[in-house]
Amino acid sequence: MSGQTLYNHTVSASGGFSDKTKRNRNRMLHRAKARHLGLFEAFHMRFLGKRDGKHSLPKKSEDGTWMSPTLRKETDAYGEFCAIIWGRTQNELYSDHKTIEHLLGEIKEQEKELNDLIKNKPTKISEDKLKIRRKGEESLPEEIIRMRRQKNYNKENVEMFGKIKQLEISLGNLHGLLHEKQAKIQEVEHITRMACEKVYHHTKQRIDVYWGGVLFTHQKTEELPPAPTLLSESDVEAVYLATHQKSAEKAIQIIKQRKNINKTRNDDDTKDLNGKEQVQ
């Protein structure tokens, strides 16, 4: 069974990764074989093993592994399946990865702007400034003078405080979208990973049954290992993840930082509320 055929068997009913719904991805995962071999499939693989054994297959290669056309076909089908399914995942998540890169840039830029504003944010108006009297105010009560100075202060800084509030709201929205996109990417990658793992274990079962047939008829049974060479897991996932490793790590770091900030704020709010209740 080729990797393309194996892939089609696994995901054809779900429409592949072109349909981005969670239901279809879960259906794809469910259809990836992880159960024991069926009677016919086991009989077929054992038959192939006995047939190859009669022809002194598999043969020992220069690197010490035992290989036959049947074994090569099985391992190639598994590798091709993983390449196809991770390729489809790459295509499906392409725009999401681009969005995350854009969000990271926006967050970095807006956080710098916010920090600069906070750094230059004026402190509370001092008592001395509240008492300053301007021309024509000599006879006014102190309360009126304080109200005027406070009003002037608020008017002068209302734009800056408004910008700070606006940036805080914008950053909250950006962090929310970043969390949403990263969660989606991790979900789709997990489904893809599980599908590859299922096919890996199923392929290993097929090879094990095949090997039992080989041991039954091979002329050099005493030279054959009791179990076939371990099936190497596909490295396609590592190649795929390396492409987006930096942005993924940065996104996860920012999400964790945001969670810690929100937790700290919630704890502070709880303390303030408890303090007010105790006073009452």
pLDDT tens digits, residue range 61-107?
888 889 999 999 999 999 999 999 999 999 999 999 999 999 999 99
β-strand partners of 29: none
Q: What integer best gives the mean pLDDT of the chain?
A: 82
Highest mean pLDDT among 61-65, 74-78, 117-121, 142-146: 74-78
Least confident of 29-33, 115-119, 209-213: 29-33
How far is Cα of residue 108 from the mean position of the Cα atoms in its chain?
20
- H-only helix segments in 120-132: 127-130
Rg (CA), the chain: 33
CA–CA gap between residue 84 and residue 4 (Å, rounded):
7
DSSP letter at 64? Answer: S
Look-up: residue for tokens 């794809």? 28
pLDDT for 191-223, tens place per residue?
A: 999 999 999 999 999 999 999 999 999 988 888
In terms of average pLDDT, the best of 128-142, 148-162, 193-207 is 193-207
Q: How far apart are CA 201 and CA 207, in angstroms?
A: 10
Q: What is the pLDDT of residue 14?
A: 39
* Least confidently predicted of 108-117, 122-131, 183-192: 122-131
